[in-house]
Amino acid sequence: MIVTFTANPSLDRTVALPGPLERGEVQRAVSVRQESGGKGVNVSRALVASGLESLAVLPGADSDPVLAGLRESAVPFVSLPIDEPLRTNVALTEPGGVTTKINEPGPALDENQQEALIKLLVESSRGAGWVVLAGSLPPGFPADFYATVAHRLRSSADGAAPRIAVDSSGLPLAAALSGGAEGMPDLLKPNAEELAELAAAAGFPPASGDELEADPTAAAAAAAAVVRSGVGAVLATLGSKGAVLVTADGAWLATHPPVAAVSTVGAGDSALAGYLLAHGRGAAPADCLRQAVAHGAAAASLPGSTVPAVNQTTPDAVTITALRKD
């Protein structure tokens, strides 16, 4: 089973526009979609859609629309009751897939609620193969929350501890590497911009996200610097350029033929789900990367934050290239 943890879940509203976004003007939407979201929630949705067992752990009142949406889509979850409503995020999509996101901060949770969330996650993760710590943190959370959670998961494990994947950004992502060996993730899933920040902190020559996205060899070298800092593996998504996977044993680039992009919301989350889906089936690292890119491409071709099932993906269309790590 794969457990996902979303500390700051959301109700994701996607508004499709008939043309480019015009600031200061009135525009009529072509369509509006609404789904339960947040990075971890999206990963669970994608896994369940492909028939894999997953459990989403999150805060939220029983009547909250986010939890109601999970029930409607038959995604198993456990929640920590809170009084405040969960946030609503809005994505504006233009023809061609250009997406503008407006994310609310989410409800603040006090220290007692934070501790209760950790305990709920630890208890829910017993026997899990993977735990995914994903998304932004609500107001008031310490930046190193994910490192603390990873340490608690491992120290509380009765037998084999679950593997831990982290997909976040900014300070929570950087601080996820601050917990020493006991808190270090087995897998990181940054995009090119996030990879540039992590690699610079690991001593890699400064580079922009655009530079890494345009040069997969440089992206692999940057990811290798992060792996040398103690991370088990880095799965770095490079937008339409595909993704690179770097482990201690190798580096690979995966590319997919161009797709007609409809919405990029949740494409990175779907890529992580594809990787975990293949890993759970015993696939080799390069083939885990292959399914990750197939999932990400399929998600970009779907409206809103719709996640693909595995039978909607085309892994055979993905090209894998071995890369140098240095």
- For residue 278, the SS3 value is helix
Q: Which of 280, 267, 299, 291 is nearest to 167 (CA)?
A: 267
d(CA 182, CA 202): 18
Please name the helix (run of DSSP H) or strand (run of DSSP E) that holds residue 188, with its range, or none.
strand 187-188
Give the span between the Cα atoms of 148 and 155, in whole angstroms. Answer: 11
Distance CA 162, CA 67 (A): 25
Choosing from 12, 64, 144, 269, which is the catalytic residue? 269
Structure tokens belonging to residue 43: 């990963």
The one-letter amino acid at 249:
D
**d(Cα 2, Cα 39) in Å, to the nearest integer?**
14
Question: Does the annotation mark 269 as catalytic?
Answer: yes
Give the active site residues: 269
